[in-house]
Structure 1
Amino acid sequence: MVPQFTDSFDRRFYYLRLSITDVCNFRCNYCLPDGYKPHGTANKSFLSLDEIRRVTRAFAAAGTEKVRLTGGEPTLRRDFTDIIAAVRENAAIRQLAVTTNGYRLARDVAKWRDAGLTALNVSIDSLDARQFHAITGQDKFHQVMSGIDAAFEAGFSKVKVNTVLMRDVNHRSLDTFLDWIRSRPIQLRFIELMETGDGGALFRKYHISGEVIRDRLLMQGWTQQARARSDGPAQVFRHPDYQGEIGLIMPYEKDFCASCNRLRVSATGKLHLCLFGDGGVSLRDLLQSDDQQTQLQARIAASLHSKKQTHFLHQGNTGVTQNLSFIGG
């Protein structure tokens, strides 16, 4: 049996965030305000279906229970449904999720569920259609909302919605969001705006701590829930009067990294030990044959010894991450 992936601080890794493309068709002002531009990498091709199959097989054999497909916009891959099926070949993968901007949900979500997708995160930063357009550069608010309805119709019992918290853009809209989830099984997740290499000025203008939301929730009778070992970093709150939940992702809070349980692989096959780390460890040369799995697992395990105890966002060090589509957020 392959040992569980563990780092020098005895953190165990049950969760893989796998980027399958860094291309995105939205132009969100906090990520790709000027639209997608290809990176000048030596190997610009994204992981093939077989490479995805091999890397997820290696992680599953070492204790990974959850895989999230990310991007860019992962559903832009023409073989996206095949990718879902390939990852689900691993019985050890109990949860297979995708983070999407939602523009293809209405058309394809039933097909994705049939292929084995178990969870959905949809990015919606405003419930006002005009503001949504201003943030994303796309007039697709009603299309995305219809996609969420389609997800429930396809059999998903819960949908997570990611909202990047921005000062004077949406941080005063809590009541509107709460009304929306009162009768809907949606976990609305407020994510603190994070500084990236390309986004320093925007960060200084719009960053606000998730504490402002947490304080209001606690005052209104919401209670924080326990976190399972393969859960992401959100602090989740529930209230008896609401079907939905609120999640808070606060990377600037003290000890945020102490419970880190996730690793990242980029769309070009690099292992990233932290979203805001320096560089990455190439895995691609060990994804060419099924016979390389032992070597692949050994390289990943050895790399974990250099994983740092925390990120350095408080010092303004954003590492290699120029924008959130680069590694997969």
Structure 2
Amino acid sequence: MLEDAYARKFYYLRLSITDVCNFSCNYCLPDGYHAQHDESFLNLSEIKTVTSAFARLGTNKIRITGGEPSLRKDLPDIIAHCAQTPGIKKVAMTTNGFRMEKDIERWLDAGLNAINVSVDSLFSEQFNQITGTQSFKKVMAGIDKAVDLGFTNLKLNSVLMRQGQQANLKRFLEWIKDRPVEVRFIELMEMAENKDYFDKHHSSGSSLKDQLLAMGWQQQIVSKNAGPAQVFGHRDYKGKIGLIMPYSKDFCASCNRLRISARGHLHLCLFSDAGIDLRQYLQLDDGGLALSEQLIMHIQGKKVSHFLHQHDSGATQNLASIGG
């Protein structure tokens, strides 16, 4: 079992397969994607080594991330391999939803069993402004198709913004009244490239939590391989609300996830240094044994917490570079 010096166990791998994104969200890639490396992304063989090594060490959940993972043509093959890896019980993916209406059935057939779609607003004009696209109808059509297919392990990710927060909350609550979908509000996080934007738009999730509790929402117990969200349910709603609050007290105490970047770097924290280059171990024909040894060794260097409260986001330039 992967366990760090603070007795935290790691059941959850966030695996980035590309840092390319076709959206230009104003809190992440306001100028759009620009390649910063010549090195290629992990191929399927390397991904097999990663998943085998992590599964051998007790990881049972993999989330495929990007950039935008659906931009890879071999995404169904990657999903299928993750799903077929002994020990992996859950394969999830975070997507902007651009290709969801067209491809969701292929993803599900390959073995995907959880999807998070980034939807920062249910107001079409605001959504298009945030993403730098005209994709609102296309994304929502994909979400509607998932619901129509009876797919219930569906979540919407929405970055919490100071402006328009109450209007967005009202719209999301109306939307999940009769839909079995969880909406996750994520506190805006300060990155190297978005400091001015962060200062202008950051809003704490604690006030939203207090508001939900006052409205009769109740916090629920989550599984040990779940993400960092506090999840709330209400007897009058089919859907749920999640809050991800990285600035809250003891947020890192329950950390259960590690990250591998699209170029084979191990990131012990979203806000750590440039990552540990493990790609040479991904190319060995040893079933991931050498990689496993490296993971066991390096995890002892994981720090007790991030340093966001000190305005230190490490080497993370934007979320697309690691996979959020």
Partner-residue secondary structure (3-state), 2:130? helix
Out of 236, 242, 250, the residue aligned to residue 247 of structure 1 is 242
Indicate whether 1:35 and 2:25 are aligned: no
* Cα drift, residue 292 of structure 1: 5.5
Return the alpha-carbon distance in structure 1 between the equivalents of residues 177 and 86 of structure 2. 35
Out of 44, 66, 69, the residue aligned to residue 71 of structure 1 is 66
Return the alpha-carbon distance in structure 2 between the equivalents of residues 277 and 107 of structure 1. 36
TM-score normalised by length of structure 2: 0.98
Map of 2:83 onto structure 1:
88
Partner-residue secondary structure (3-state), 1:148? helix
Return the alpha-carbon distance in structure 1 between the equivalents of residues 176 and 153 of structure 2. 11
Indicate whether 1:197 and 2:192 are aligned: yes
Write out per-residue CA displacement over residues 105-152 of structure 1, whole angstroms, 9 at most, x where no aligned residue.
Answer: 000001100000000000000111111110001111111111011112
Aligned residues: 324
1:291-306 aligned at under 5 Å gives the runs 291=286, 293-306=288-301
Return the alpha-carbon distance in structure 2 between the equivalents of residues 158 and 46 of structure 1. 28
Map of 1:223 onto structure 2:
218
**Would the alpha carbon gap of residues 86 and 292 (structure 1) be closer, same or farther in structure 2, given more than 3 Å must change?**
closer
Map of 2:17 onto structure 1:
20
Map of 1:50 onto structure 2:
45
* Cα drift, residue 171 of structure 1: 4.6
Write out per-residue CA displacement over residues 163-212 of structure 1, whole angstroms, 9 at most, x where no aligned residue.
Answer: 00011143542111100000001100000000000000000000000012
1:89-108 aligned at under 5 Å gives the runs 89-108=84-103
Map of 1:188 onto structure 2:
183
- 8 Å Cα contact 1:286-1:292 kept in structure 2: no
Map of 2:129 onto structure 1:
134
Gaps in structure 1 of 5+ consecutive residues:
none
* Cα drift, residue 291 of structure 1: 1.1
**Would the alpha carbon gap of residues 183 and 50 (structure 1) be closer, same or farther in structure 2, given more than 3 Å must change?**
same
* Cα drift, residue 280 of structure 1: 1.0
Out of 238, 251, 257, the residue aligned to residue 256 of structure 1 is 251
Indicate whether 1:158 and 2:166 are aligned: no
Write out per-residue CA displacement over residues 243-302 of structure 1, whole angstroms, 9 at most, x where no aligned residue.
Answer: 000000000001000000000000000000000001211111011133162111010110
* Cα drift, residue 156 of structure 1: 1.5
Return structure 1 stretches of 4+ with deviation > 3 angstroms: 169-172
TM-score normalised by length of structure 1: 0.97
- 8 Å Cα contact 1:31-1:199 kept in structure 2: yes
Map of 1:9 onto structure 2:
6
Return the alpha-carbon distance in structure 2 between the equivalents of residues 54 and 292 of structure 1. 6
CA RMSD after TM alignment: 1.0
* Cα drift, residue 91 of structure 1: 2.8
Partner-residue secondary structure (3-state), 1:82? helix
Gaps in structure 2 of 5+ consecutive residues:
none
Write out per-residue CA displacement over residues 199-255 of structure 1, whole angstroms, 9 at most, x where no aligned residue.
Answer: 000000000000121111000100001121000000000000000000000000010
Return the alpha-carbon distance in structure 1 between the equivalents of residues 110 and 180 of structure 2. 23
Equivalent residue letter for 1:277: S
Return the alpha-carbon distance in structure 2 between the equivalents of residues 177 and 73 of structure 1. 24
- 8 Å Cα contact 1:109-1:154 kept in structure 2: no
Return the alpha-carbon distance in structure 2 between the equivalents of residues 173 and 280 of structure 1. 36
